[in-house]
Amino acid sequence: MRRSGALAAMMAIWATATPSFAQDALDGYRLVWSDEFETPGLPDPANWAYDTHANATGWYNNELQYYAADRPENARVEDGKLIIEARRETLDTLPDHGGQTYSSARLVTAGLHSWTYGFFEVRAKIPCGKGTWPAIWMLSENATDWPLDGEIDIMEHVGHDKGVIHGTVHTEAFNHTRGTQRGGQKRVRDACEAFHDYQVLWTPETIRFGIDGGGYHEFRNDGSGDVERWPFDKPFHLILNIAVGGDWGGAEGVSERSFPARMEIEHVRVWQRMD
């Protein structure tokens, strides 16, 4: 009942807040997957895996973190929340360590759960220290070629621009390396002190971004059939992480006083149309 009520309330809020969301926009949807983080300890291995593939070589965008696996200091469930924590430390005894002086975690549903279309909601409180770069996002389940395979950034935030939340898509035609990426932003003044619902409604026609039921950006399928413009017709998985520094996250430096830095997540939920 709690989930059904939340869905009904969310539908009403989105319809009121954003004219482009019809009152019946989510009729026919039902909850198909969620993690409510009710069991203390490491994240549920039936729901989450760890992405550590670039630790030895260094992560993208000149980021500074080492992503640890099965390490409660960096990813754990406590008090009904998933905690992802970035720390100032050097884990140079680990075999894939690449010289990083920060640790963090990058949790993925890849290989476990993926979806084509749906309504995605992550309720989170994010860190805002200088040099932090928390993200809630999605990649193609079988991605081999970025950005051709597509990317959906449900929420990104950089500590040097406190409270400004970004929702973005990346494709071959529209991405930051070309200066053509498509995204929107919304200021959430207490994003670092309070929990908010970060949301995406993804259909064959459009990807809509929202916070707490209020839509703020939309990316539409132009109907051209060009995969470079719309690669969003195949399964995508979820990713939760805190990066440190990098071209964007560290554009104004990294403050050691920002660490340890936590992203706390109360739930992750996915609804899909059943008709």
Strand order through the sheet with 182-187: 49-50, 106-108, 236-244, 132-140, 151-156, 164-170, 182-187
Catalytic member of 156, 193, 205, 264 = 156
Tell me if residue 38 is catalytic.
Answer: no
Stated as kind and residue range, the H or E segment containing 138 is strand 132-140
Question: Measuring CA to CA, how many Å separate 266 from each of 121, 187, 196, 234, 262?
Answer: 11, 21, 10, 27, 13
Catalytic member of 85, 151, 172, 264 = 151
Q: Which residues are paired to 151 by β-bridges? A: 139, 170
Question: Measuring CA to CA, how many Å separate 146 from each of 60, 61, 143, 176?
Answer: 12, 13, 7, 12
CB atoms within 10 A of CB 7: 18
CA distance 75 to 104: 8
Tell me if residue 85 is catalytic.
Answer: no
CB atoms within 10 A of CB 233: 12
CA distance 75 to 98: 20
Whether residue 265 contacts residue 122, with contact meaning beta carbons closer than 8 Å, is answered with yes
What three-state secondary structure class fits 16? helix
Active site residues: 151, 156
